[in-house]
DNA sequence: ACTTTGACTATAA
DNA sequence: GTTATAGCCAAAG
């Protein structure tokens, strides 16, 4: 900051990188391994804000505007349900992407959820 | 500065 | 199994 004028923290700008809650969420989601899923609550807990699961969901709502891309389809709710499917380009894209990674989905529900669950609080050191 | 909103979750009935 | 309700809190309006 050469002058007193501060940079604008425009989270809506895909090219603007900052250390915001949103960006932290995106960083965690990018670490979810191929073929695994995690939950909004698990991400919130990992970020030290256990009760901010709704904020994680909100961050995901903007996830399509940031770079590098965020594998938003790997985030489901605590029961393994595909609650965010309506926010994809088509309502079936989320399920298709998961199936492509070998994750069985039936009726918007990840089958055998615990087998595919990846908890950042455990997996990330 | 205040109010509303959510891709959530825990609990209760 | 279900639905209802309250708490949550950062960002958007």
Q: What is the pLDDT of residues A10-58, one digit of tens each?
A: 433 443 445 688 999 999 999 999 999 999 999 999 988 888 999 999 9
Contact between the CB of A55 and strand C at under 7 Å:
yes
pLDDT confidence band for A124 (50 / 70 / 90): confident
How many other C-beta atoms are found inside a 10 Å radius of the C-beta of residue A80?
Answer: 20
**Where does A5-100 have alpha helices with state H?**
21-30, 40-46, 53-61, 93-100
Percent of chain A residues past pLDDT 90, beyond the cut:
74
Start-to-end CA distance of chain A, whole Å, equals 33
Round the average pLDDT of chain A to a whole number and report it: 85
Rounded, the Å distance between the CA of A58 and C1' of B5 is 10
Rounded, the Å distance between the CA of A1 and C1' of C8 is 35
User: What per-residue confidence (pLDDT) applies to A12?
Assistant: 39
**Of all nucleotides in the shown strands, which has a C1' nearest the CA of A49?**
C9
């Amino acid at each position: 900051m050469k002058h007193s004028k501060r940079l604008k923290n425009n989270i809506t700008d895909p090219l603007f990188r900052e250390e915001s809650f949103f960006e932290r969420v995106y960083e965690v989601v990018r670490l979810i391994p191929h073929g695994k899923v995690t939950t909004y609550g698990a991400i919130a807990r990992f970020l030290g804000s256990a009760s901010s699961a709704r904020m994680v969901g909100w961050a995901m709502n903007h996830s399509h505007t940031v770079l590098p891309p965020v594998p938003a389809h790997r985030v489901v709710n605590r029961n393994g349900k595909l609650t965010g499917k309506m926010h994809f380009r088509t309502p079936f894209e989320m399920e298709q992407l998961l199936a492509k990674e070998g994750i069985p989905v039936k009726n918007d529900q990840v089958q055998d959820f615990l087998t595919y669950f990846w908890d950042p609080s455990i997996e990330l050191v």
